[in-house]
Amino acid sequence: MFHVSERMGNEQTIDEQTIGKNIRTLRKAAGLTLTRTAEEADLTKSALSKIETGHSSPPIATLLRIARVLHVPLTRFFTTDQINPPHVLTRRGHAQDVPMRGSQFGYSYQALCLGKGDKRVEPFLLTIRPDDPEGTFHHEGQEFIYMLSGKMIFTVNNDELILQAGDSLYFDSHYLHRTRVIGREEARFLCIFI
């Protein structure tokens, strides 16, 4: 389940059915069929149908491909309020936990501005604990990482990079990339999907 804070401070839960409904609504508004959207997003019609009906929780790479086909920012899938405010302020301690593919490894993704609908980037605060297994990812786009605390080995393609507080990394995310915490302190970093 996804927890999204509305502008008035009320908590609202967003589940897979809501995300699927948003995707279906956006697809229909774009005048696209299920078949065409699935083909352009490199999915089967059945897989997209399961996502739209809330019977599947897809990884970030899949959601990014669907968003690209629909010409919308990823956040449009996670919001019930489609109004696009001029700004979104997320106060310390009020970022919203959002399950992503890395969540299966125990990683914590906190969305830093879900309420803004026309973003070109998706900023998250990621936390990886020392006992979380190594995650392996690849998807369209690019990523920017800024380390806040902890230390980790971040592998892009075959290059192993040691990142610690104050380090930043920008890379093409279609390359296979992996994360592994070094030491006993959790790694916390700003991650921006572009």
CA-nearest of 60, 61, 58, 49 to 21 is 49
How far is Cα 112 from Cα 92, in angstroms, rounded to an integer?
A: 10
Per-residue pLDDT, 80: 62
Indicate if the pLDDT at residue 161 is higher than 90: yes
Domain of 183 in residue numbering reads as 121-193
- On whether both 67 and 6 belong to a single domain, the answer is yes
| Most confident option among 11-20, 28-37, 159-168 | 159-168
Which helix (DSSP H) or strand (DSSP E) does residue 62 occupy?
A: helix 60-70
Indicate if the pLDDT at residue 10 is higher than 80: no
How far is Cα 122 from Cα 25, in angstroms, rounded to an integer?
A: 21
In a domain, 91, yes or no: no
Work out how many domains the chain is built from and give that number.
2
Alpha carbon 115 to its chain centroid, in Å, reads: 14
Tell me the pLDDT of the chain averaged across its residues. Answer: 83
Beta bridge partners of 157: none
Per-residue pLDDT, 18: 81
- On whether both 67 and 128 belong to a single domain, the answer is no
Mind listing the pLDDT tens digit for each residue in 37-87?
Answer: 999 999 999 999 999 998 888 887 888 899 989 988 887 887 765 556 777
Of 52, 77, 102, the position where a domain reaches its end is 77
